[in-house]
Amino acid sequence: MLNPIGPGLWEYNAPMTVLGIALGHRLTVARLADGSLWLHSPAAYSGALAAELAALGAVAHIFAPNYIHDTYLEDWLPRYPGVRFHAPPAFHKIFPHFSLTDRLGESPHPAWAGLLDQHVIQGIPRLHEVVFLHRPSRTLLVADLAFNLGPEMPLLSRVLLRLNGCYCRFTPSRMVKAVIQDRAALRASLEHILAWDFDRILVAHGDNLETEGKESLRAAFAFLNA
Protein backbone atom coordinates (compact mmCIF):
# COMPACT_ATOMS: atom_id res chain seq x y z
CA MET A 1 0.00 0.00 0.00
CA LEU A 2 1.12 3.55 -0.74
CA ASN A 3 1.62 5.39 2.52
CA PRO A 4 1.19 9.20 2.59
CA ILE A 5 4.14 10.79 4.38
CA GLY A 6 3.88 14.47 3.48
CA PRO A 7 2.08 16.97 1.26
CA GLY A 8 2.03 15.33 -2.15
CA LEU A 9 4.50 12.65 -1.06
CA TRP A 10 4.04 8.88 -0.63
CA GLU A 11 6.16 5.81 0.05
CA TYR A 12 5.75 2.15 -0.87
CA ASN A 13 7.77 -0.54 0.88
CA ALA A 14 8.44 -3.92 -0.68
CA PRO A 15 10.69 -6.90 0.12
CA MET A 16 14.00 -7.18 -1.73
CA THR A 17 17.02 -9.43 -1.13
CA VAL A 18 20.48 -8.65 -2.53
CA LEU A 19 23.49 -10.93 -2.02
CA GLY A 20 21.64 -12.72 0.77
CA ILE A 21 20.73 -9.51 2.63
CA ALA A 22 17.03 -8.67 3.11
CA LEU A 23 17.41 -4.99 2.26
CA GLY A 24 13.83 -4.17 1.37
CA HIS A 25 13.09 -1.47 -1.19
CA ARG A 26 11.34 1.89 -0.87
CA LEU A 27 9.63 3.57 -3.81
CA THR A 28 8.96 7.26 -3.24
CA VAL A 29 6.24 9.06 -5.17
CA ALA A 30 5.80 12.83 -5.47
CA ARG A 31 2.90 14.67 -7.09
CA LEU A 32 4.04 17.54 -9.30
CA ALA A 33 2.33 20.89 -9.83
CA ASP A 34 0.47 19.63 -12.91
CA GLY A 35 -0.91 16.65 -10.97
CA SER A 36 1.38 14.08 -12.59
CA LEU A 37 3.53 11.63 -10.62
CA TRP A 38 7.28 11.44 -10.11
CA LEU A 39 8.59 7.96 -9.18
CA HIS A 40 11.92 7.61 -7.39
CA SER A 41 13.45 4.12 -7.71
CA PRO A 42 10.48 1.89 -8.58
CA ALA A 43 9.98 -1.27 -6.53
CA ALA A 44 8.73 -4.53 -8.09
CA TYR A 45 5.85 -3.83 -10.44
CA SER A 46 2.36 -5.15 -9.70
CA GLY A 47 -1.09 -4.43 -11.02
CA ALA A 48 -2.24 -3.45 -7.53
CA LEU A 49 0.54 -0.90 -7.17
CA ALA A 50 -0.15 0.48 -10.65
CA ALA A 51 -3.83 0.91 -9.73
CA GLU A 52 -2.94 2.81 -6.57
CA LEU A 53 -0.69 5.12 -8.57
CA ALA A 54 -3.37 5.68 -11.20
CA ALA A 55 -5.73 6.81 -8.45
CA LEU A 56 -3.23 9.52 -7.52
CA GLY A 57 -2.37 10.74 -11.02
CA ALA A 58 -0.62 9.89 -14.27
CA VAL A 59 2.95 8.54 -14.02
CA ALA A 60 5.06 11.06 -15.95
CA HIS A 61 8.63 10.64 -14.61
CA ILE A 62 10.56 7.53 -13.50
CA PHE A 63 14.00 7.70 -11.90
CA ALA A 64 17.00 5.46 -11.49
CA PRO A 65 18.84 7.38 -8.73
CA ASN A 66 22.22 5.69 -9.31
CA TYR A 67 24.01 3.10 -11.41
CA ILE A 68 22.80 0.08 -9.43
CA HIS A 69 19.08 0.84 -9.05
CA ASP A 70 18.07 -0.77 -12.34
CA THR A 71 16.50 -3.98 -11.00
CA TYR A 72 12.83 -3.38 -11.77
CA LEU A 73 12.95 -0.89 -14.63
CA GLU A 74 12.32 -3.50 -17.31
CA ASP A 75 8.89 -4.14 -15.79
CA TRP A 76 7.97 -0.45 -15.54
CA LEU A 77 9.18 1.41 -18.60
CA PRO A 78 7.32 -0.65 -21.25
CA ARG A 79 4.04 -0.15 -19.37
CA TYR A 80 4.37 3.66 -19.48
CA PRO A 81 5.44 4.38 -23.07
CA GLY A 82 5.08 8.15 -22.73
CA VAL A 83 7.03 8.41 -19.48
CA ARG A 84 10.25 10.39 -19.17
CA PHE A 85 13.03 8.20 -17.79
CA HIS A 86 15.72 10.02 -15.80
CA ALA A 87 19.07 8.59 -14.68
CA PRO A 88 22.64 9.68 -13.82
CA PRO A 89 24.94 10.96 -16.59
CA ALA A 90 26.46 7.70 -17.91
CA PHE A 91 23.58 5.33 -17.11
CA HIS A 92 22.80 4.89 -20.82
CA LYS A 93 26.36 3.62 -21.42
CA ILE A 94 26.09 0.99 -18.68
CA PHE A 95 22.53 -0.03 -19.58
CA PRO A 96 22.10 0.79 -23.29
CA HIS A 97 18.93 -1.31 -23.53
CA PHE A 98 17.00 1.29 -21.50
CA SER A 99 15.63 4.26 -23.43
CA LEU A 100 16.94 7.18 -21.38
CA THR A 101 15.16 10.45 -22.09
CA ASP A 102 16.87 12.72 -19.54
CA ARG A 103 20.31 12.74 -17.93
CA LEU A 104 20.18 14.01 -14.36
CA GLY A 105 22.38 16.97 -13.54
CA GLU A 106 22.38 19.84 -11.07
CA SER A 107 19.43 21.74 -12.56
CA PRO A 108 15.95 20.45 -11.77
CA HIS A 109 13.66 19.71 -14.70
CA PRO A 110 11.08 22.51 -15.25
CA ALA A 111 8.35 20.02 -14.26
CA TRP A 112 9.58 19.96 -10.64
CA ALA A 113 11.68 23.12 -10.32
CA GLY A 114 10.74 24.82 -7.06
CA LEU A 115 9.30 21.60 -5.63
CA LEU A 116 12.38 19.34 -5.70
CA ASP A 117 16.08 20.17 -5.64
CA GLN A 118 18.71 17.68 -6.82
CA HIS A 119 22.44 17.09 -6.62
CA VAL A 120 24.74 14.58 -8.32
CA ILE A 121 27.03 13.13 -5.63
CA GLN A 122 30.67 13.58 -6.59
CA GLY A 123 33.63 11.45 -5.56
CA ILE A 124 31.94 8.03 -5.97
CA PRO A 125 31.79 7.55 -9.76
CA ARG A 126 30.85 3.87 -9.51
CA LEU A 127 27.65 4.95 -7.75
CA HIS A 128 27.05 8.42 -9.18
CA GLU A 129 23.97 8.82 -7.02
CA VAL A 130 21.57 11.71 -7.42
CA VAL A 131 19.88 12.86 -4.21
CA PHE A 132 16.73 14.95 -4.01
CA LEU A 133 15.17 17.40 -1.58
CA HIS A 134 11.38 17.53 -1.42
CA ARG A 135 10.97 21.10 -0.26
CA PRO A 136 7.39 21.14 1.11
CA SER A 137 8.08 18.26 3.52
CA ARG A 138 11.76 19.13 4.14
CA THR A 139 12.65 15.57 3.13
CA LEU A 140 15.93 14.31 1.67
CA LEU A 141 15.73 11.25 -0.60
CA VAL A 142 18.73 8.91 -0.80
CA ALA A 143 19.18 5.47 -2.38
CA ASP A 144 22.46 3.67 -1.65
CA LEU A 145 24.42 6.60 -0.26
CA ALA A 146 23.49 5.32 3.22
CA PHE A 147 21.41 2.51 4.74
CA ASN A 148 19.45 2.35 7.99
CA LEU A 149 18.70 -1.33 8.64
CA GLY A 150 18.08 -2.88 12.03
CA PRO A 151 17.27 -5.84 14.28
CA GLU A 152 13.99 -6.81 12.60
CA MET A 153 15.99 -8.44 9.79
CA PRO A 154 16.56 -12.23 9.47
CA LEU A 155 19.62 -13.58 11.30
CA LEU A 156 21.79 -14.09 8.20
CA SER A 157 21.02 -10.56 7.01
CA ARG A 158 22.02 -9.14 10.39
CA VAL A 159 25.32 -11.01 10.25
CA LEU A 160 26.06 -9.82 6.73
CA LEU A 161 25.17 -6.24 7.62
CA ARG A 162 27.55 -6.32 10.58
CA LEU A 163 30.29 -7.44 8.19
CA ASN A 164 29.32 -4.60 5.86
CA GLY A 165 29.54 -2.07 8.71
CA CYS A 166 25.99 -0.80 8.48
CA TYR A 167 23.93 -2.66 11.08
CA CYS A 168 21.53 -0.70 13.30
CA ARG A 169 22.74 2.74 12.29
CA PHE A 170 22.39 5.26 9.51
CA THR A 171 25.67 5.01 7.60
CA PRO A 172 27.26 4.24 4.25
CA SER A 173 28.21 0.60 3.84
CA ARG A 174 31.78 -0.64 3.65
CA MET A 175 31.09 -1.43 0.01
CA VAL A 176 30.30 2.23 -0.70
CA LYS A 177 33.27 3.43 1.32
CA ALA A 178 35.52 1.09 -0.68
CA VAL A 179 34.65 2.78 -3.99
CA ILE A 180 35.12 6.39 -2.87
CA GLN A 181 37.71 7.84 -5.24
CA ASP A 182 37.77 11.50 -4.28
CA ARG A 183 37.14 12.27 -0.62
CA ALA A 184 37.41 16.04 -1.14
CA ALA A 185 34.78 15.95 -3.90
CA LEU A 186 32.48 13.85 -1.74
CA ARG A 187 32.93 16.25 1.19
CA ALA A 188 31.98 19.14 -1.10
CA SER A 189 28.85 17.29 -2.23
CA LEU A 190 27.82 16.66 1.37
CA GLU A 191 28.32 20.30 2.27
CA HIS A 192 26.12 21.23 -0.68
CA ILE A 193 23.38 18.91 0.60
CA LEU A 194 23.76 19.99 4.22
CA ALA A 195 23.07 23.56 3.13
CA TRP A 196 19.54 22.46 2.11
CA ASP A 197 16.62 22.82 4.50
CA PHE A 198 15.68 19.27 5.52
CA ASP A 199 14.96 17.35 8.69
CA ARG A 200 13.69 13.94 7.51
CA ILE A 201 15.64 11.44 5.37
CA LEU A 202 13.93 8.77 3.28
CA VAL A 203 16.22 5.84 2.52
CA ALA A 204 15.71 3.24 -0.21
CA HIS A 205 16.75 0.46 2.19
CA GLY A 206 15.77 0.50 5.85
CA ASP A 207 13.96 2.78 8.25
CA ASN A 208 13.48 6.44 7.51
CA LEU A 209 14.94 9.09 9.79
CA GLU A 210 11.91 11.12 10.79
CA THR A 211 13.90 13.91 12.43
CA GLU A 212 17.46 15.19 12.93
CA GLY A 213 18.34 13.99 9.44
CA LYS A 214 20.87 16.73 8.85
CA GLU A 215 22.80 15.88 12.01
CA SER A 216 22.65 12.17 11.17
CA LEU A 217 23.99 12.72 7.65
CA ARG A 218 26.86 14.82 8.97
CA ALA A 219 27.74 12.16 11.57
CA ALA A 220 27.52 9.31 9.04
CA PHE A 221 30.21 10.87 6.87
CA ALA A 222 32.39 12.31 9.62
CA PHE A 223 35.05 9.73 8.63
CA LEU A 224 35.83 11.89 5.58
CA ASN A 225 37.41 14.44 7.88
CA ALA A 226 39.76 11.95 9.53
- For residue 93, the model assigns a pLDDT of 86
Q: What is the pTM of this model?
A: 0.93
Task: Provide the 3-class DSSP secondary structure of residue 188.
Answer: helix
Find the CATH number of the domain harbouring 201. Answer: 3.60.15.10
pLDDT given for residue 226 in this prediction: 77
pLDDT value at residue 69: 86
Distance (Å, whole) CA 65 – CA 204:
10
Return the pLDDT at 155: 67
Residue 166 pLDDT: 74
Buried b (16+ CB within 10 A) or exposed e, 88-115: beebbeeeeebebeeebeeebbebbeeb
Please, are residues 217 and 162 in contact by the beta-carbon 8 Å criterion?
no
Rounded CA Rg of the chain: 17
Burial class from Cβ neighbours inside 10 Å (0-12, 13-18, 19+) for residue 181 reads exposed
- Provide the number of structural domains found in the chain: 1
Q: What is the pLDDT along the chain (226 residues), one digit of tens a residue?
A: 999 999 999 999 987 777 677 777 899 999 999 999 999 999 999 999 999 999 999 999 999 999 988 889 999 999 999 999 999 988 888 899 898 999 999 999 999 999 999 999 999 999 999 999 999 999 999 999 998 887 776 766 676 767 666 777 899 988 899 999 999 999 999 999 999 999 999 999 889 999 999 999 999 999 999 7
Domain that holds residue 136: 3-225
In whole angstroms, give the CA distance from residue 129 to residue 67: 7
